[in-house]
Amino acid sequence: MNPHAGAVATPIDPVKLDRLAEVAVKIGLQLQPGQDLVLTAPISALPLARRIVSHAYKAGAGLVTPIFSDDEITLTRYRDAPDASFDRAEAWLYEGIAKAFEAGAARLAVRGDNPMLLAAQDPSKVSRANKATSIAYRPALEKITAFDINWNIVAYPTPEWAKLVFPGEEEDVAVAKLAEAIFSASRVDTEDPVAAWKEHNASLSGRTAWLNGKAFHALRFTGPGTDLTIGLADGHKWNGGAETAKNGITCNPNIPTEEVFTTPHARRVEGHVRSTKPLSYQGTLIDEIAVRFEAGRIVEANASRGADVLNKVLDTDEGARRLGEVALVPHSSPISQSGVLFYNTLFDENAASHIALGQCYSTCLMESNLSPDKIAAQGGNSSLIHIDWMIGSGEIDIDGINADGSSESVMRKGEWA
């Protein structure tokens, strides 16, 4: 029986959409029988959310709890709410989510928000609301960044996002094009996407094994507008593709993913760097970012667009001006070669090597279950935020620096050397 029989015509291929939901549950989460799931999504992504719930229960999920957001409700707050509202967040909700994670629940987020939703809103209110949410969300975020649980992020082609990626197209055409780009990047445009993901994970595992064998002291990025040396945390470990969470479940946190990544040393970053793609952050587009680091800390920051929001983000806390992640992605990655600018970090970060401001991943350290003080001693950063932005391109070279100062080519013109 065709599960999609009688469905209303849609520009989104229902077979591939169902495959994406299946991959999210079976590869992204590897959801276990009896395991609960916390699912978040924009209300406009309801068709994918429904399929995810179906596959989750077919996999034996105990209880799936969906939490939806809505762009119009978000904008209504900025239009009508009193000023004091922007210093508050739903702490009770995030505390409940953290408790669900403590009890063994998995986490799945569907992305599809309008990247420009808050572009016309007061930057001060946007910053205050983001900071309040970051503080409230921290108990749950720590469970994710420490990999206590299996988690995953996938995307759905919502109309407002599609029209931004493909301007000038009719809505249905734009949605159809974005859907196909998502399906291709997520490897669900094949007959056996589960097998495709297993092969891809094996390739990324080979890259991490090579980098872990080298154990570089630092990486140096050079190219137009960039000469940046990023020290790597003591006892750092490279990860990429499938990873095993502390609950023993192997999952793929990001679908799609083309990166291998590790934890920088928060106090050993020097030089200047320029972004190579725009950053979409909480409804604001930040473009042409240029920053300078001294002793690991950003001391100068500029952007041609969204500079006010960028600088307010950097003032979130002391760790917001330091790095929590460095990731390597070849310029020839499928997402880069597609030529599509997604205005969505989940995709754009997989088109180029990138860095992240803020919270580090403790799973990128060789020793496990380290205390916060020990993580900091090894160079790991702590912050309320974790924001990736792209610094790689076909013009960027990367060298691995050894402890004795000698160097070795890692990437040339954006490709593995």
- Taking only the tens place, the pLDDT of each residue in 215-262 is 999 999 999 999 999 999 999 999 999 999 999 999 999 999 999 999
What is the three-class DSSP state of 232?
Answer: strand
DSSP, residue by residue, 251-301:
E-SBSS---EEE-EEEEEEEEEEE-SS-EEETTEEEBS-EEEEETTEEEEE
Closest CA to 43 of 158, 121, 160: 158
Taking a C-beta distance cutoff of 8 angstroms, is the pair 334, 184 a contact? yes
Indicate the pairing of strand 37-42 with strand 106-111: parallel
pLDDT at site 6: 40
Tell how far CA 337 is from the center of its chain. 19
pLDDT at site 119: 85
With vertex at residue 156, the alpha carbon angle to CA 152 and CA 160, rounded to the nearest 5 degrees, is 135
d(CA 332, CA 57): 37
Tell me the C-alpha to C-alpha distance, in Å, between residue 279 and each of 43, 128, 308, 342, 346: 23, 19, 14, 10, 11
d(CA 37, CA 106): 5
pLDDT at 16 over 90: yes
pLDDT at 107 over 90: yes
Order of strands, edge to edge, in the sheet holding 226-232? 297-302, 290-294, 264-274, 226-232, 218-223, 397-401, 407-412, 415-416
pLDDT at 5 over 60: no
pLDDT at site 208: 97
What is the three-class DSSP state of 406?
Answer: coil
The dihedrals phi and psi of 339, each to the nearest 5 degrees, come to 75, 5
**Domain boundaries defined on the chain:** 14-185, 216-241+255-416
pLDDT at site 9: 55
Confidence of residue 146 (pLDDT cuts 50, 70, 90): confident
What architecture is domain 14-185? 3-Layer(aba) Sandwich (3.40)
pLDDT in tens, 302-357: 999 999 989 999 999 999 999 999 999 999 999 998 999 899 889 998 999 999 99
d(CA 404, CA 102): 43
Instruction: Give this prediction's pTM.
Output: 0.85
Report the percent of the chain where pLDDT is more than 70: 98
The dihedrals phi and psi of 74, each to the nearest 5 degrees, come to -60, -45
Sole residue written with tokens 């800390």: 297
Closest CA to 406 of 270, 146, 220: 220
pLDDT at 369 over 60: yes
pLDDT at site 19: 97
pLDDT at 3 over 50: no
The dihedrals phi and psi of 197, each to the nearest 5 degrees, come to -70, -35
Mean per-residue pLDDT, 6-35? 89
Mean per-residue pLDDT, 35-60? 98
pLDDT in tens, 64-84: 999 999 999 999 999 999 999
Mean per-residue pLDDT, 147-173? 96
More confident residue, 9 or 224: 224
| C-alpha torsion angle, residues 179, 183, 185, 191 (rounded to 10) | -160
